[in-house]
Amino acid sequence: MLYFSKLRIIFITLISLLFIIFALSNLFNFDNKILNKKINLGLDLQGGSYLLLEIDNDPVIEQKLQNLTVTIRNFFKEKNVRITNFKLSNQTLSFTSDENSKQTILDEFASEESELNPYYQRFKSHQLDIVEENNFFKVSFSKQGIINLKTSSQDQALEIVRRRIDEIGTNEPNILKRGNDRILVELPGLDDPMRIKSLLGKTANLTFRFVTNDTEGSFGAEKLEFEDGTEEAIVSKRIILSGENLLDAQPRMDTENNETVVTFSLDRVGAKRFGKATSTGIGKRLAIVLDGKVISAPVIRDTIATGSGQISGGFTFQSATDLALLLRSGALPAPLNIIEERTVGPDLGQDSINAGMIALLIGFILVILYIFVKYKIFGIITNIALILNLFILVGILTIFEATLTLPGIAGIILTVGMAVDANVLIFERIKEELKSEKNNLIAFDSGYTKSRTAILDANITTLLAAIILFFMGSGPIKGFSLTLGIGIFTTLFTVYFIARLLTVLYVSKNKEKEGLI
């Protein structure tokens, strides 16, 4: 245990130096690209906002089943199968048919190449489940169907969320999927997430529909409230134009009547439809509906064939800017709910950094003094190893550009406290060995050998705890387990290479000295 080859010594020195340089790159700016890395500060240290959004897929499921009604009816009409009594409730579509058609319907849904009920070729499971009882059918999404639906609405929602956040222009946002119906948004440096929260809370489903008096039209109509709550209007369900047809939207000051408006321009299809609707509908009111509420319903005076227009609705400049932003970035496939929010202001973050650093410094100094008092020369060796341990730990965190959180700093401080354990085990063992063994070299050698299993055991138990925390913990806890876990490896490295090397150098110079430790 006491022999070190020259090559090994060089190797140890180089590795230590490398990590020290990386650790220092947090303090100084190196010109080199590889070297110039920095530890990321977690949101709790640099301030920022963490939002967990959950996609409410229920409306999407309802909508899909609603659309399916028409598809099923048309599909079986061609096959001369009569289906009646379509009803949609509890995410289940029900209908009835007669005894003769029963098998045709069931076969169609069960067929592996079914057009009506796809997915089988790809997922070995259909999109829809169907049950039949006395010619009464119930259709609902299968497990696989729900998974696909959720995944696709998550993909779309992620894209829209990204666009909306990019439009606001916060620095380095982090937008990630969580599970199959959640989106995690981390916004460093943002201390008031109100605006983003309100922007993400809107589906931004924009439609242009005629105001009608006739509730029984072929498409049906619904009564909708105005955004400002002053008025109600019966609006046709027929959609003239939707947000998808928008190319651009901008807030603007309308100089004519001194009002803030949102101007928009339409794509070709949209422009055509808008032109047609405004030419046939002169004198009618066209309702502009956002998320089920009427923003305004102006009377059409002229045909608009240019493919651009403007929305007015008593906007402030801020609300017009936000609406334009929402329209530019597109509608969410489903509503988003913020189910978890954690925001830390920048000054609390700075306070936490300061407190963490002071705690680290004081803890470090106390441990170093205590160990020096206990072990003198070997205390110095342990302390050198401990200091290097800290540098290497920070160096590794820097190389991986890991995220340091406040609990992460706690993990580093705890590592400082527990790292000396290995050296203590070794030195205490050597002391015992020296009671029966007069030869210093032999006593040191067997001290190292005999303490090894206890040291490994001790570190494995802590490592187990750290690993579990890393995989099962969330957010800040991960930061703690990361530093604690890496700390175990750096501790073993510094104890067995650096402290042992220094011990060997000292002991081989003082072979004959009594009461060495």
Q: Which positions touch other proteins (CB under 8 A)?
A: 44, 52, 54, 191-192, 194, 201, 337-345, 347-348, 351-352, 355-356, 358-360, 362-363, 366-367, 370-371, 374, 406-407, 409-410, 413-414, 416-418, 420-421, 424-425, 428, 432, 453-454, 457-466, 468-469, 472-477, 480-481, 484
Q: Are 419 and 371 in contact (CB under 8 A)?
A: no
Least separation, in Å, of the C-beta of 341 and other proteins?
4
Closer to other proteins at the Cβ: 181 or 445? 181
What minimum distance in Å lies between the beta carbon of 242 and other proteins? 26
Least Cβ distance, residue 49 to other proteins (angstroms): 9
Degrees (nearest 5) of the Cα angle 421, 427, 433?
135
Q: Residue 239: phi, psi to the nearest 5?
A: -95, 120
Cβ-based nearer residue to other proteins, 251 or 485: 485
Q: Which is nearer to other proteins, 129 or 421 (CB)?
A: 421
The three-state (H, E, C) secondary structure of 162-197, written as one string: HHHHHHHCCCCCEEEEECCCEEEEEEECCCCCHHHH
Phi then psi dihedrals of residue 513, to 5 deg: -65, 135
Determine the Cα–Cα distance for residues 205 and 200; give it in Å rounded to an integer: 13
DSSP E strand boundaries for 243-302: 246-254, 259-266, 286-290, 293-296
Q: Which is nearer to other proteins, 42 or 307 (CB)?
A: 42
Return the structure tokens found at 254: 């309308």
- As a whole number of angstroms, the distance between CA 238 and CA 207 comes to 9
DSSP symbol at 334: S
The nearer residue to other proteins, 118 or 363, going by C-beta atoms, is 363
- H or E stretch at 94: strand 92-96
| Greatest pairwise CA separation for the chain in angstroms | 111
User: Smaller CB distance to other proteins: residue 275 or 363?
Assistant: 363
CA distance readout (Å), 265 to 317, 438, 509: 19, 93, 85
Question: Closest separation between CB of residue 379 and other proteins, Å?
Answer: 11
| Under 8 Å between Cβ of 411 and 481 | yes
Nearer to other proteins, 191 or 259 (CB): 191
On whether the CB atoms of residues 442 and 420 are closer than 8 A, the answer is: no
Sign (positive or negative) of CA dihedral 7, 395, 386, 469: negative
Task: For the CB of residue 469, give the shortest distance to other proteins in the complex, in Å.
Answer: 5
- For other proteins, the closer of residues 249 and 394 by Cβ is 394
Closest approach, Cβ 144 to other proteins, in A, equals 24
3-state secondary structure of 294: strand
CB of 181 to other proteins, least distance (A): 11
The DSSP line for 14-72 is: HHHHHHHHHHHTTTS--SSTTT---PEEPHHHH-EEEEEEEE--HHHHHHHHHHHHHHH
Per-residue CA distances from 375 to 378, 443, 451, 512 (Å): 5, 17, 17, 19
Q: Which is nearer to other proteins, 374 or 376 (CB)?
A: 374
Is residue 31 exposed (0-12), middle (13-18) or buried (19+ Cβ within 10 Å)? exposed
Nearest distance from C-beta of residue 237 to other proteins, angstroms: 28
Give, to the nearest 10 degrees, the angle between helix 406-436 and helix 346-399: 50
User: Which of residues 80 and 474 has its CB atom nearest to other proteins in the complex?
Assistant: 474
Rounded to a whole number of angstroms, the minimum distance from the CB of residue 429 to other proteins is 8
CB of 262 to other proteins, least distance (A): 23
In whole angstroms, the minimum distance from the beta carbon of 476 to other proteins comes to: 7
Q: How many CB atoms lie within 10 A of CB 120?
A: 16
Q: Which of residues 63 and 337 has its CB atom nearest to other proteins in the complex?
A: 337
- Contact by Cβ (8 Å): 190, 182: no
Q: Which is nearer to other proteins, 395 or 479 (CB)?
A: 479
Nearest C-alpha neighbor of 294 from the set 226, 213, 239: 226
Q: How far is the CB of 12 from other proteins (least distance, A)?
A: 24
- Min dist CB 176 to other proteins, Å, is 16
Closer CB to other proteins, residue 57 or residue 236? 57
Nearest 5°: the CA angle 18, 24, 26 is: 125
Q: Which amino acid would we find at residue 42?
A: G
